[in-house]
C-alpha cells in the first residue's frame, strides 16, 4: 500500500513536471516582451532554476553521450560542415556564435552598412549560429546597426550588476531585442537570404539550416532555437518545427552558404577550425561570452568590428568580395529596369 502510494505521488509529480515543461515551451517561452525584461525575484529565480535544471541535466547527458560516440568514431559532432548551401557567389556573410562577445559581429555589420548602405545589404546573404544568428537576422532585414546597439549597453549593464537576477532570462532579452527592431515583414525580407543553424537533439543530434520562414514570429522562434542553452536561455525545453533544439553551435557554429563567403570568427583558432577570414584584432576574454564586458570594452569591441571589416575589405579577398557584390547589385538593377 505504501509503495503504491509512493508510486502514485511520483507519477503525479512527474506528470505535473512534464506538463509544466511543455506548457512553458509552447507558451511562456514564445512570448515577445514589449519592454526590456526586469529583474527576477529570488523566489522566481529559485523556482525557475529548480524547474530547469533536471531538463538541462538530461539534455547535457544526451549530448555528452553522442559527443563521446562521434569523437571515438573520429567524426566529431562539432566538425565544420563546409559544403556550401548556395551555388552562386552572392556576397555572403557568415557569423559564428559567442554569447555576449558576438556583438563584435554588430561592428562588422555596421562597417558593411556604412560601406554599402541598406540597398547594398539587401543583395547579401547571411548565415549565423547562436547569437550570431541574431546579428545575421537584423543584418538580413537591413535594420540600422545603431537601432540594435541602442539596447546593448543597458542589457549588458543589467547582467553585470545583477547577474543572478537575469539567469534564465536571456531568451526574453533576445526576443525583446528582435521584437522591438525587426520590421513587420521581416520574414519576407529574409526568405532565401538568411540561413540559421539549429541543432536538433533527436533521434541523434544533427544540424538543420533554416532559410524559409512562415511569419515574423516563426523567424524570431528560429533565432531563439539557434541560441537555446537549457535554463540559461529559459528553463524547460525548446521546441521548434517539431524538433527539440539546442544551440546551433553544438553541430555547426559557422554555417557555410557560399564558396567565396566572408566568414567572421571570434577566436584565433576559428581561422583554422572554421576557416574564418578574420577574428577580432582586439579580442575579449572567453569569460565575456556569458558575463558582459564593461561598457568601454563593449564599445571597443564594436569599433574593433568596424575597423577589422574595413581592413579586410582592402585585402585581395575583400576586393573580390566587393566585386562580387557589385556584380550582383548591377544584375539586380538590370532586372528591375526590365520589369
**Residue 130 appears among annotated catalytic residues:** yes
Cα–Cα–Cα angle for 313, 196, 134, rounded to 5 degrees: 70
Q: Which of 130, 158, 197, 200 is catalytic?
A: 130
Residue 319: strand, helix, or coil: helix
- Cα separation of 302 and 307, whole Å? 9
φ/ψ region of 97 (left if φ > 0, alpha if ψ in -120 to 50, else beta) reads beta
Q: Which of 158, 197, 247, 277 is catalytic?
A: 247
Cα–Cα–Cα angle for 83, 85, 90, rounded to 5 degrees: 115
CB 262 within 8 A of CB 321: yes
Beta strand pairing call for 194-200 and 206-210? antiparallel
Which residues contact residue 292 at a Cβ distance below 8 angstroms, ignoring those fewer than 6 apart?
100, 155, 156, 157, 159, 160, 298
Match 577550425 to its residue by C-alpha cell.
273
Residue 196: strand, helix, or coil: strand
**Residue 200 appears among annotated catalytic residues:** no
- From 264, 303, 310, 309, select the one nearest 131 (Cα to Cα): 264
- List b or e across 231-240, with b for residues whose CB sees 16 or more CB atoms inside 10 angstroms: bbbbbbbbbb
User: Which residues are marked as active site?
Assistant: 130, 247
Amino acid at each position: 500500500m505504501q509503495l503504491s502510494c509512493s508510486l502514485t505521488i511520483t507519477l503525479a509529480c512527474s506528470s505535473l513536471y512534464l506538463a509544466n515543461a511543455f506548457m512553458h515551451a509552447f507558451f511562456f517561452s514564445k512570448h515577445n516582451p514589449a519592454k526590456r525584461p526586469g529583474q527576477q525575484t529570488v523566489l522566481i529565480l529559485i523556482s525557475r532554476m529548480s524547474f530547469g535544471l533536471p531538463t538541462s541535466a538530461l539534455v547535457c547527458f544526451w549530448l555528452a553521450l553522442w559527443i563521446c560516440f562521434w569523437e571515438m568514431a573520429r567524426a566529431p559532432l562539432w566538425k565544420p560542415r563546409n559544403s556550401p548551401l548556395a551555388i552562386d557567389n552572392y556576397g555572403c556573410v557568415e557569423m559564428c556564435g559567442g554569447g555576449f562577445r558576438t556583438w563584435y559581429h554588430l561592428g562588422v555589420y555596421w562597417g558593411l552598412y556604412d560601406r554599402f548602405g541598406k540597398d547594398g545589404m539587401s543583395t547579401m546573404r547571411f548565415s549565423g549560429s547562436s547569437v550570431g544568428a541574431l546579428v545575421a537576422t537584423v543584418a538580413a532585414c537591413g535594420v540600422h546597426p545603431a537601432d540594435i546597439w541602442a539596447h546593448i549597453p543597458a542589457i549588458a549593464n543589467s547582467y553585470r550588476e545583477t547577474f543572478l537576477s537575469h539567469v534564465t532570462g536571456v531568451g526574453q532579452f533576445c526576443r525583446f531585442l528582435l521584437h522591438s527592431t525587426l520590421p513587420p515583414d521581416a520574414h519576407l525580407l529574409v526568405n532565401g537570404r538568411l540561413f540559421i543553424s539549429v541543432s536538433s537533439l533527436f533521434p541523434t543530434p544533427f544540424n538543420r539550416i533554416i532559410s524559409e520562414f512562415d511569419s515574423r514570429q516563426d523567424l524570431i522562434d528560429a533565432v531563439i532555437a539557434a541560441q537555446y542553452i537549457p535554463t540559461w536561455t529559459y528553463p524547460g525545453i525548446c521546441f521548434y518545427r517539431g524538433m527539440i533544439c539546442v544551440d546551433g553551435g553544438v553541430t555547426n557554429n559557422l554555417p557555410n552558404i557560399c564558396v567565396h563567403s566572408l566568414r567572421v570568427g571570434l577566436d584565433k583558432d576559428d581561422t583554422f577550425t572554421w576557416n574564418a577570414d578574420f577574428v577580432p584584432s582586439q579580442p575579449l576574454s572567453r569569460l565575456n561570452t556569458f558575463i558582459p564586458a564593461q561598457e568601454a570594452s563593449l564599445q571597443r569591441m564594436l569599433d574593433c568590428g568596424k575597423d577589422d571589416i574595413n581592413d579586410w575589405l582592402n585585402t585581395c579577398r575583400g576586393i573580390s568580395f566587393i566585386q562580387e557584390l557589385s556584380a550582383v547589385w548591377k544584375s539586380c538593377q538590370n532586372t528591375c529596369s526590365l520589369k
